[in-house]
Amino acid sequence: MDERLLLKIALSCSLAGLVALYFLTANLTPEQTKISNLTGIEESTMVRLRGVVESVDDNGNMMYLDIAQPETASIIVFKDRKLDIAKGDFVEVRGEVSNYKGKKEIVATGIDVLG
């Protein structure tokens, strides 16, 4: 077979694969989870939570939040930018479930203030 034809086929397949991966990963957001269900979720699982901020402790590069739905969950945020989050804000947190001293907590990969 002609080398140019093989090159065109390979490039076309690669490009189609990259486009397919882009659209697949754009739709892979974790389902919204209730805080009461965190005990049954395995460590390192990605989750998405919504709740009201009950407490904020900002230590420079890290922020500790407690959010309620009415149950409470601890959220750890490693900051790479200034976050303006205050008690009473309604937030959505995306992150990974972690165990710390026998308690489930979320290490946030993203956080949005919804209101």
Residues 39 and 76 in one domain: yes
Q: What is the pLDDT of residues 74-97, one digit of tens each?
A: 999 988 888 889 999 999 999 999
Split into its structural domains, the chain has a count of 2
The whole-model pTM stands at 0.70
- Looking at the structure, tell me whether residues 70 and 90 fall in a common domain: yes
Average pLDDT over residues 1-22: 91
Could you report the per-residue pLDDT of 27-85, keeping only the tens digit for each? 667 778 888 888 888 888 889 999 999 999 988 889 999 999 888 999 999 888 888 89
Strand partners, 74: 66, 105
Query: Is residue 26 scored above 80 in pLDDT?
Result: no
Residues 20 and 73 in one domain: no
Q: For position 57, which CATH number holds?
A: 2.40.50.140
Same domain, 7 and 40: no
CB atoms within 10 A of CB 16: 10
Given this model, what pLDDT does residue 76 score?
Answer: 93
Backbone angles phi, psi at 72, to 5 degrees: -110, 140
Q: Where are the beta strands (DSSP E) in 1-115?
A: 46-58, 62-68, 72-78, 90-100, 103-113
**101 C-beta neighbours (distance < 10 Å), count:** 5
Same-domain pairing of 21 and 6: yes
17: its two tokens: 């694969």
Query: How high is the pLDDT of residue 51?
Result: 94
Which residues span the domain enclosing 12? 1-30
Helix H or strand E encompassing 12:
helix 3-26
